[in-house]
Structure 1
Amino acid sequence: MTRTLVISDIHGELELFEQLLAKVQYDPHHDQLILLGDYVDRGPHSKKVLDKVIELKAQGALVLKGNHEDMMIKALTTDDEHAWKHWAHRNGGSNTLQSYGFSEEEFIVPENVEFVKPELYSDKLTGHLEFIQCLDSVIVSEDYIFVHAGIHPTLPIAETDPYVLMWIREDFYNGYHGDKTVIFGHTPTTILHDNKNNHAIYFGKNNIIGIDGAAVYGGQLNCLELPTKIMHYVKK
């Protein structure tokens, strides 16, 4: 492979994702594509994005699980009220369910009634759920650590709960000082740059590279090219 291309936090933005792959002229025969999670929620086309991710994985892409996949799994595989409402009501799961053809009347549970988990079924949704449940949470190479949210700054990765790898924020990006460079999404780079208008990839002095350009919020979808560390991006 001549290049490694890293993308994160697509969030249902299929058009931007396909534009970015075209812009970098991604070729699975020569490039290693690594996707860092959060394919679903908030954007309009979660189902189609997962279809694309499955296609890319079959061609050789390395695919990780993000915290939004984590929420989706917990909501759809348990009867826990908090898990359902946390995902479907408050974190963009409604957009994901609508992309599979469900209406709000089918999955929004009123606050003033006893919770009964909505019964939703779709062959496509079931297949996608099985796919994301099998995804890894971290990739470690000779020089880099690829992860959705970050790593615990003092725990060995092998001893770290996958939940931490998908959800951690400040403790990681303020506290990490390891030798390997950690490439991650999850935290919008506007926060890392401390500039609400700067969606560019963040190159931290403590060996961290944040690439979540908050595309679904009107920012940009970033791609980090390695080993050159060139930034590619598209925006609406």
Structure 2
Amino acid sequence: MRTYAIGDIHGHLDKLEEAHRRIAEDRVRVGDTDAPVVHIGDQVDRGPDSRGVIDYLIRGHEAGKPWVTLKGNHDRMFTGFMADPDSHDAGLRAELHWIHPRLGGETTLASYGVERAGERLLHDLHEEASSKVPGAHMTFLRGLPTSFARGGVLFVHAGIRPGVPLAAQSEDDLLWIRRDFHDYRGDFGCLVVHGHTPVDAVTHYGNRLNIDSGAGYGHALSTVVIEDDKVWLLDGLGREAIRPTLS
């Protein structure tokens, strides 16, 4: 039971292409062409080429590649803005808006040729964005699933709320949860693989695996391969074992 997973991309097409090259090399080494590749969410924002990332993912899905692309909170904020420039995501602090420099919406719009987002009235900005962002991109992002389960592993963007069955989890938690999920040391009944909260390096906590190594902040985009209960980081030389941390 082999599954590949890629952390938060955040508009870095070059890093995404490198991640898939590493997966292709590993497939050759192990003789596997069918194992799924899970993109953990947050395709857009902060990086320079969100448009290119979405084009790349759409092409892969349309070509029938064994890919799963999950919805992240940044993906939902993008689609929310495109539906209504006054929208405010339920997980976002009241004083912030998607185009705030901390969130990266301005760079996403720039990748579509919509410039100076932070200096313009929202409704004027939205009018131009509506003419330049392909409807197919919005359809793709809105339709992304929020979780993917395979074997004893559950893939979600941010995490899950402890004690709540998967079928009853709210989308807000799956896309935004942090502390209640991170602080839980019990058994989730599966290994939860997630991103959302950057760490210095891929970290295995025993009950969860964080694969967001901060690509959106200029750091590496991490790629892992999971086989049953074993995890490896794919680096330029091959596989590096990731073992649970001792607590």
Q: Quickly name the TM-score band, shorter chain normalised.
A: 0.7 to 0.9
Stretch moving more, 120-129 or 150-159: 120-129
- Structural mapping, 1:155-234, within 5 Å: 155-175=164-184, 177=186, 178-189=188-199, 199-205=200-206, 207-227=207-227, 228-233=230-235
CA distance in structure 2 between the partners assigned to 1:171 and 1:232 by the alignment:
29
Distance 1:108 1:81, change over 3 A: farther
Partner of 1:33: 37
CA contact (8 A) 2:112 2:132 kept: no
Structure 1 segments, 4+ long, off by >4 Å, are: 81-85
CA contact (8 A) 1:40 1:46 kept: yes
Partner of 1:194: none
CA contact (8 A) 1:43 1:95 kept: yes
Distance 1:169 1:126, change over 3 A: same
Give the % identical residues. Answer: 33
CA distance in structure 2 between the partners assigned to 1:33 and 1:45 by the alignment:
21
Q: How far does residue 29 in structure 1 lie from its aligned partner after superposition?
A: 3.3
CA contact (8 A) 2:157 2:196 kept: yes
Distance 1:129 1:163, change over 3 A: same
Partner of 1:192: none
- Structural mapping, 1:49-64, within 5 Å: 49-58=53-62, 59-64=65-70
Alignment partner for residue 137 of structure 1, among 136, 143, 146?
146
Q: How far does residue 220 in structure 1 lie from its aligned partner after superposition?
A: 1.1
Q: How far does residue 82 in structure 1 lie from its aligned partner after superposition?
A: 4.5
Q: How far does residue 229 in structure 1 lie from its aligned partner after superposition?
A: 0.9
> How far does the alpha carbon of each residue in 1:2-51 deviate from its partner, in whole angstroms, 9 at most, with x for none?
73110121111111111121123266933311111111000000000001
- Alignment of 1:128 with 2:162, yes or no, is no
Q: Name the amino acid aligned to 2:231.
A: K
Structure 2, unpaired ranges of 5+ = 237-247
CA contact (8 A) 1:79 1:117 kept: no
TM-score, normalised to structure 1, is 0.84
Partner of 1:9: 8
RMSD: 2.3
TM-score, normalised to structure 2, is 0.80
Distance 1:136 1:51, change over 3 A: same
> How far does the alpha carbon of each residue in 1:61-83 deviate from its partner, in whole angstroms, 9 at most, with x for none?
01110010011111111242646
Partner of 1:67: 73
Q: Name the amino acid aligned to 1:142.
A: G
CA distance in structure 1 between the partners assigned to 2:87 and 2:59 by the alignment:
33
CA distance in structure 2 between the partners assigned to 1:122 and 1:31 by the alignment:
38
CA distance in structure 1 between the partners assigned to 2:141 and 2:235 by the alignment:
25
Q: Name the amino acid aligned to 1:180.
A: C
